[in-house]
């Protein structure tokens, strides 16, 4: 197995904490102004696959996700529905929890930034930053994108508005704010990124982008808002609330402080994020932690976007796909597989229901599902001794681990298909065991070999499709049982 020579072994251990006992992984916490769509699903499924793999490796995992509930954007969404922001959040947050449950996401905790326990830690961290002397009052005047909850510079505007959101979301602000001395930490952050021992930005390509921006000069940034009541009041000035990003980023740390038994999980091993929030995670978050003298996370990993038939997903374009739509069509594991297979690792990935159908039918219905049911039927009632996937002993397992840790799910899956499933299919068709007599030892030998191939593939695929893989393992455990229903029925 795993004869692939494209991945030199000496590059495999770039993941510093790969064999550590504890592994803390996070997703961004999602804005609650809208219900979940497959953009959110993509990061959550990715984190789940990585978390499950690390559990498979025997590590103690803390997997955190949640919702970002304060700020102007959420307050406006609540107003539109004639609800108080609190009522609105209580209505929408369960939709995210439910969506993740319906995708068999194994998060250990779901954080909501309106949880008083989180709010308390935010107050403490901000107070530390204040005590350090890194905060001063000044006037902010400029553009603000309510969609991004972000102050935008003139140079970031396209046609006078933030290119990521409708024009009306970009508004002029003029207010007295508390400012954070971001510029003070720039030299330290540059030094950390430039040193391979301490660099925390992955993939490589994103490093240059952040460094260039850092070296071009960085202004101090607003840490509070004057006229946004829906937020956490600053400990030293109750007339202002924490700028929503300062509140939100602290979730990664606060959860470890108030969830029982999780203190020793800080610093985080891996923050997963989409490319639009790279700066917040690699610069602002690091500077906040440096200022508050809290250990820095070990790694951030940034991915690109799902596009729907070439366009950005948006409510106004009416092209939003919900995770439930996919689950209804492809089942839970089918959906998880499709998300992983089309994951936008480096470049944006164009997805759509028709593409998903093609992929599902080709890989899951025609290949994996069909193979399992053919083999199970042929070997029904027989038992095979010493069936062992042997995966842990396989030195190439490391390649798989590396690819998953780098969110290169597509490459990881391609290897499984090429080396295990296609090989099993080929063997089956070439050696035609069904033509041999049931008592013929050659028939048993052929079937055993094919089942071994299959079990290796299943073990690899387990973090991606946990329930299906367990079901398949059950079929081949002891006396082989036929599958009662097809694993992946073909979809028209």
The residues that are catalytic are 37, 40, 145, 148, 162, 165, 312, 315
CA neighbours within 13 Å on the CB side: how many for 8?
Answer: 3
93 scored as a contact of ligand MSP (CB under 6 A): no
- How far apart are CB 126 and ligand MSP at their closest, in Å? 15
Using the minimum distance from each CB to ligand MSP, give the nearer residue, 255 or 480.
255
Q: Quote the least distance from Cβ 28 to ligand MSP, whole Å.
A: 4
d(CA 264, CA 421) in angstroms, rounded, equals 41
Q: Choose the binding region for ligand MSP from 24-32, 195-203, 257-265, 328-336 (rule: CB under 6 A).
A: 24-32
Our finding on whether 121 is near ligand MSP (CB under 6 A) is no
Owner of token pair 């498979």:
56
The verdict on 162 binding ligand MSP (CB under 6 A) reads no
Which residue in 303, 126, 345, 154 sits closest to 222, CA to CA?
Answer: 126
**Measured from the CB of residue 285, what is the shortest distance to ligand MSP in angstroms?**
8
How many Cα atoms occupy the beta-carbon half-sphere of 174 within 13 Å?
0
Own/partner pairs for 263-268, CB < 8 Å, 24+ apart?
264/22, 265/22, 265/24, 265/62, 266/24, 266/294, 266/295, 267/24, 267/294, 267/295, 267/296, 267/297, 267/298, 268/24, 268/25, 268/26, 268/297, 268/298
| Nearer to ligand MSP (CB atom), residue 75 or residue 379 | 75
User: Is 31 an interacting residue with respect to ligand MSP (CB under 6 A)?
Assistant: yes
Q: Are 444 and 384 in contact (CB under 8 A)?
A: yes
The residue count of the chain comes to: 492
135-145 and 150-152 strand pairing: antiparallel
Task: Spell out a b/e string for 137-151, using b for 16 or more CB atoms within 10 Å of the CB, else e.
Answer: eeebeebbbbbbbbb
| Rounded least distance, CB 20 to ligand MSP, Å | 23
Is 273:282 a contact under the CB 8 Å cutoff?
A: no
In the DSSP assignment, the letter for residue 5 is -
Contact call for residue 43 and ligand MSP (CB under 6 A): yes
Cα separation, 96 vs 27, whole angstroms: 13
CA 252 – CA 407 distance, rounded (Å)? 20
Residue 62 or 306 with smaller CB distance to ligand MSP: 306
Stretch that binds ligand MSP, among 25-33, 80-88, 100-108, 258-266 (CB under 6 A): 25-33
Interface pick for ligand MSP out of 7, 109, 279, 305 (rule CB under 6 A): 305
**Interaction with ligand MSP in 461-480: which residues (CB under 6 A)?**
none
Residue from 1, 24, 25, 39 in contact with ligand MSP (CB under 6 A)? 39
Q: Is 96 in the site for ligand MSP (CB under 6 A)?
A: no
The phi and psi torsions of 396 (rounded to 5 degrees) equal -80, -5
**CB nearer ligand MSP, residue 68 or residue 363:** 68
β-pair type (311-312, 109-112): unpaired
336 counts as binding ligand MSP under rule CB under 6 A: no
Q: Does 40 bind ligand MSP (CB under 6 A)?
A: yes
Among 64, 292, 313, 401, binds ligand MSP (CB under 6 A): 313
Residues 37/320, Cβ–Cβ less than 8 Å:
yes
**Which residue sits closest to ligand MSP, CB atoms considered?**
39
Q: Tokens 């593409």 map to which residue?
A: 355
Smallest separation, CB 54 to ligand MSP (Å): 20
Number of residues that bind ligand MSP (CB under 6 A): 19
Residues 268-287 that bind ligand MSP (CB under 6 A): 273-274, 277
Min. distance of Cβ 404 from ligand MSP in angstroms? Answer: 17
Tell me how far, at minimum, the Cβ of 79 lies from ligand MSP, in Å.
19
Interaction mask 46-65, ligand MSP, x per CB under 6 A:
--------------------
Q: CB count, 10 Å around CB of 35?
A: 16
Q: 125: which residues sit within 8 A by CB, 6+ positions away?
A: 250, 253, 254, 288, 292, 294
Segment interacting with ligand MSP, rule: CB under 6 A, options 38-46, 136-144, 184-192, 327-335: 38-46
Pair 107, 48: CB distance under 8 Å = yes
Told to check if 29 binds ligand MSP by CB under 6 A, we report yes
Integer Cα distance of 406 and 73 in angstroms: 32
| Site stretch for ligand MSP (CB under 6 A), options 244-252, 287-295, 414-422, 438-446 | 244-252
Share of the chain residues as helix, strand and coil, in percent rounded to the nearest 5 = 50, 15, 35
Q: Which of 2, 23, 24, 30 binds ligand MSP (CB under 6 A)?
A: 30
Among the listed ranges 26-34, 95-103, 432-440, 445-453, the one in contact with ligand MSP (CB under 6 A) is: 26-34
289 binds ligand MSP (CB under 6 A): no
> Residue from 110, 301, 306, 476 that binds ligand MSP (CB under 6 A)?
306
Residues that bind ligand MSP (CB under 6 A): 28-31, 39-40, 42-43, 68, 248-249, 251, 273-274, 277, 305-306, 313, 344
């Amino acid at each position: 197995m795993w004869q692939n020579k494209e991945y030199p072994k000496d590059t495999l251990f770039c993941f510093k904490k790969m064999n550590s006992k504890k592994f803390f992984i996070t997703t961004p916490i999602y804005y609650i102004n809208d219900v979940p769509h497959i953009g959110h699903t993509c990061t959550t499924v990715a984190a789940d696959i990585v978390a499950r793999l690390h559990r498979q490796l025997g590590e103690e995992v803390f997997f955190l996700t949640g919702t970002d509930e304060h700020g102007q954007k959420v307050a406006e969404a609540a107003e539109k529905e004639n609800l108080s922001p609190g009522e609105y959040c209580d209505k929408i947050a369960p939709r995210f929890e439910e969506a993740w449950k319906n995708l068999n996401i194994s998060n250990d905790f779901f954080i909501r930034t309106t949880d008083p326990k989180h709010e308390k830690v935010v107050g403490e961290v901000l107070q530390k930053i204040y005590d350090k002397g890194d905060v001063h009052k000044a006037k902010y005047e400029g553009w603000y994108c309510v969609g991004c909850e972000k102050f935008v510079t003139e140079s970031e505007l396209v046609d006078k508005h933030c290119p990521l959101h409708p024009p009306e979301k970009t508004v002029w602000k003029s207010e007295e704010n508390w400012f954070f001395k971001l510029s003070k930490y720039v030299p330290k952050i540059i030094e950390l990124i430039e040193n391979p021992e301490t660099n925390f930005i992955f993939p490589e390509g994103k490093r240059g982008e952040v460094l260039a921006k850092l070296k071009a000069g960085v202004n101090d940034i607003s840490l509070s808002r004057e006229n946004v009541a829906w937020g956490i009041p600053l400990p030293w000035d109750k007339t202002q609330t924490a700028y929503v990003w300062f509140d939100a980023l602290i979730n990664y740390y606060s959860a470890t402080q108030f969830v029982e038994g999780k203190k020793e999980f800080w610093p985080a091993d891996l923050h997963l994020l989409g490319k639009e929030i790279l700066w917040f995670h690699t610069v602002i978050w690091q500077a906040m932690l440096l200022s508050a003298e809290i250990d820095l996370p070990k790694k951030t990993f940034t991915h690109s976007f799902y596009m729907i038939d070439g366009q950005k997903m948006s409510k106004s374009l009416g092209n939003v796909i919900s995770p439930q739509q996919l689950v209804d069509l492809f089942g839970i594991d089918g959906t998880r597989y499709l998300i992983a297979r089309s994951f936008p690792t480096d470049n944006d990935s164009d997805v759509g229901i028709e593409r998903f159908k093609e992929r599902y039918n080709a890989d899951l219905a025609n290949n994996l599902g069909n193979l399992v049911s053919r083999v199970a039927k042929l070997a029904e009632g027989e038992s095979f001794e010493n069936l062992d996937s042997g995966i842990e002993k396989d030195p190439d397992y490391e390649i798989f681990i590396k690819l998953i840790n780098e969110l290169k799910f597509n490459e990881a899956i391609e290897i499984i298909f090429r080396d295990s499933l296609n090989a099993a299919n080929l063997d089956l068709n070439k050696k035609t065991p069904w033509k041999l007599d049931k008592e013929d030892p050659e028939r048993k030998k052929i079937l055993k070999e094919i089942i071994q191939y299959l079990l290796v593939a299943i073990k690899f695929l387990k973090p991606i499709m946990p329930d299906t893989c367990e079901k398949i393992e059950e079929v081949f455990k002891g006396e082989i049982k036929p599958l009662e229903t097809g694993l992946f029925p073909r979809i028209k």
